[in-house]
Amino acid sequence: MTIEWEVSLDEWFAAVVRRGTATAHPEYNHSVHVDVQGLTPGTVYHYRFRAGAWISPAGRTRTAPAAGSGVSSLTLAAVACQAYQDGYYTVHRHLAEEDVDVVFHLGDYLYEYAVNSAGGERRYTDVTLPDVFDRETMTLSDYRLRYSLYKSDEDLQAAHAAHPFVVTWDDHETENNYAASIPENGVSPQEFLARRAAAYRAYWENQPLRSAQLPQGPDALLYRRLHWGTLAQFDVLDTRQYRSDQAYGDRPHPPGPESDDPARTLTGDAQERWLLDGWKASGAVWNVMPQQVCFSSASSRTPPTPRCPWTPGTATGPPGRGSWPGRRRPGSTTGSSSPVTCTSPTPSTSRRTSTTRSRGPSARS
């Protein structure tokens, strides 16, 4: 199927600056990923698609400032952990109305768990969801259908239409608490990798990702580096695909030989070298690391209720997250100035979507 696309300076498409066609292939579920070249840096654009007589709603995006250019401010939002069955995406509606430059989605864009006919805690009374959603996602068809359910939410649609998104995944886009090729449950690595391949394919089909992120079977190069002039360098991480398994059988446990093993990793060696080399070479005011795991130490005792109970290099914390190994924690050996981490919520808040905003160097502490 041939899809036409247009990019315009105005929302009425009277000032179209780029247009073209793309082929929607059935093997990619008729998704298209258009990488438009030659746009002006630091500019707001509007875009839309046409398939036959059908014209899509228009979206709005923004190009980053020119590489190496001086920039005085940046407004960003960070969101994560949006379990459809746990309630409405009210925060996304508010986000759609905010004036932000870019949105980072830090993972758990969808959850693999079953969604019942009432939409779980949404408690629909005017619609009945079909049975195809009332089971855990396992196959490519399952994951594709689940994305179709999530993306039918009007508030999530509004957030995507209003802002450019930079995405990375955590565990639930595939399976709870998986680590590299190790599944949560006792299936063979071969069976799990087939499931991971299906999950990764559906993720790429449904997210604003370039061809460089196209999965090859169960593998995908998701970590990448973006810049906002000289103000910020963003090193977007993948802390699931290459990580060590959660220590001590994925249970909370005091520090011990297994959790303190210096061979443990969240990033894998290649991604860690890429990250550290990038920070050492960076000339940005801020070096921002969007990722999924709490970075600093915090008490797990109450009161107060902890918000980040994974102590790097020590306890494994609540199941599913692990920790940044203290001796290998990025930033501890880079000499990088102004490091910033953007982290998705902990399990105590993991089913609520949160937003974080930051404005330029004036926010320095």
| 92-141 pLDDT tens trace | 999 999 999 999 999 999 999 999 999 999 999 999 999 999 999 999 99
Residue 318 confidence class, pLDDT cut points 50, 70, 90: very low
Q: Look at residue 336 in the predicted model and tell me its pLDDT.
A: 60
Question: How much is the average pLDDT of 335-356?
Answer: 57
Burial of 307 (0-12, 13-18, 19+ CB in 10 A): exposed
- Averaged pLDDT, 82-96: 97
Answer yes or no: are the C-beta atoms of 233 and 278 closer than 8 Å: yes
Residue 340: pLDDT band with limits 50, 70, 90 = confident
pLDDT at 316: 35
Helix count (H) and strand count (E) of the chain?
5, 12
Token pair in block for residue 63: 């190009």
Q: Is the pLDDT of residue 302 over 60?
A: no
Residue 150: strand, helix, or coil: helix
Please tell me the least confidently modeled range out of 143-152, 244-253, 276-285, 336-345.
336-345
Name the pLDDT band for 331 (thresholds 50, 70, 90).
low
- 42 backbone dihedrals φ, ψ, rounded to 5°: 60, 40
User: Which one is predicted more confidently, 123 or 260?
Assistant: 123
Q: For residue 178, is pLDDT > 80?
A: yes
The stretch 346-357 carries a mean pLDDT of 39
308 confidence band (pLDDT: 50, 70, 90) = very low
Query: What pLDDT is stored for residue 230 in this prediction?
Result: 96
Give CA–CA dist 270/339, Å, rounded.
Answer: 20
Q: Is the pLDDT of residue 174 over 80?
A: yes
pLDDT of 310: 33
Percent of the chain at pLDDT exceeding 90? 76
Residue 329's pLDDT is 54
Mean pLDDT of 314-333: 45
Name the pLDDT band for 224 (thresholds 50, 70, 90).
Answer: very high
Please give the pLDDT value at position 297: 56
In angstroms, the CA 148 to CA 130 distance is 12
Which pLDDT band, with edges at 50, 70 and 90, does 358 fall under?
very low
The stretch 235-258 carries a mean pLDDT of 91
Which residue pairs from 120-124 have beta carbons closer than 8 angstroms and sit at least 24 positions apart in sequence? 120/84, 120/85, 120/86, 120/87, 121/85, 121/86, 121/87, 122/84, 122/85, 122/87, 122/88
Which is higher by pLDDT, 295 or 186? 186
Tell which residue, 279, 294, 268, has the closest CA to residue 333. Answer: 279
For residue 320, pLDDT over 90 is answered with no
Q: How sure is the predictor about 299, in pLDDT bands with cuts at 50, 70 and 90? A: low
Global confidence as pTM? 0.88
**What pLDDT shows up at residue 296?**
63
What pLDDT score does 300 carry?
A: 53
